[in-house]
A and B are shown apart, each in its own frame.
Chain A
Amino acid sequence: NAGVTQTPKFQVLKTGQSMTLQCAQDMNHNSMYWYRQDPGMGLRLIYYSASEGTTDKGEVPNGYNVSRLNKREFSLRLESAAPSQTSVYFCASSEPGRSKNIQYFGAGTRLSVL
């Protein structure tokens, strides 16, 4: 039962470097999400994809781009990392609908930008 798989689990970057966080789900969910979690804060939505082929900005999209590669995969890219992007990143997926709409989360990626 893999659920939502994120890679990598840990990453250290230097300011200005780029990287892509990968996320894949095997639950055949239509919607996928990227959140960040900072100390003392709840999770904040960066971007989401309500269905394959669509992406939308969340609360804190600046400095990030996303790609919904197919129904299973949703990647998050940092083009030029900044120390303010040091955080724990979570990917999630869900099947929207009245009797559903439960988000399942990956294990998170801890990113440090020096």
Chain B
Amino acid sequence: EVQLVESGGGLVQPGGSLRLSCEASGFPLNTNNMNWVRQAPGKGLEWLSYISGGGGTIKYADSVKGRFTISRDIAKNSVYLEMNSLRDEDTAVYYCARGHVHNCGGDCYFDYWGQGILLTVSS
């Protein structure tokens, strides 16, 4: 059974940093692409970052490019999101989501989602 479990959220001051983790089980990370998606309170879904099944392709939304870094540890079957220079508007529930294929090529969708983890950026 595929499961994704996020951790590492919490309260951070503006300008601070935090790393989110997503531990995957039920499949090896190198078979599927992985993504981070967030949802601000009362708002819609926003895709943030992508890492391909091989790890060689990484993408970011413009809103987080240069501040957030996606990475993974195959041995721990985990994906991470390193977040720097955090702003009030980064306050959201952050989801880890599995892409249905190894690499996105125009027909990508998210077949499994984690339960989400809350990040609050506030002084």
A and B pair up = no
Binding site for A on B (CB under 8 A): none
- Which chain A residues have a beta carbon within 8 Å of chain B's beta carbons? none
